[in-house]
Structure 1
């Protein structure tokens, strides 16, 4: 699991997916989220604007396998 540092106290889910290289683009991040393939702290979240805080764990499930990152 990667630890990805953010400069502010919060970051939006769509932005974090790109920052952590869990999505290649904003369009892909939007698709992953709307398809229910992204979970935050163990719960699926379909809100691209969900605010993440330090310590949150994000997991992306895809046919190729799961990848994850922690907000730090």
Structure 2
């Protein structure tokens, strides 16, 4: 069973996938985020995503392995 989805607040939409991976702690840094994406280890809303610049919006769920983060707008 996978981990529960963590809400990760962002201050403005949209945010790029590479940035979100770092913010959510799903990647150590930009190079790690790039490697995860290139190796097809990242899904957005249960679909493999290979574009680091993919724009994410409120409610999108990003997963790396069993770790999942949901884009939420900071209130």
TM-score (norm 1): 0.92
Between the aligned partners of 2:49 and 2:70, the Cα distance in structure 1 is: 16
- Structure 2 unaligned regions, length at least 5: none
- Structure 1 unaligned regions, length at least 5: none
Please state if 1:56 is matched with 2:60. Answer: yes
Between the aligned partners of 1:9 and 1:60, the Cα distance in structure 2 is: 21
2:71 corresponds to which residue?
71
TM-score (norm 2): 0.88
Query: Number of residue pairs matched?
Result: 68
How large is the Cα RMSD of the aligned pairs? 0.5
Moved over 4 A (4+): none
2:50 corresponds to which residue?
46
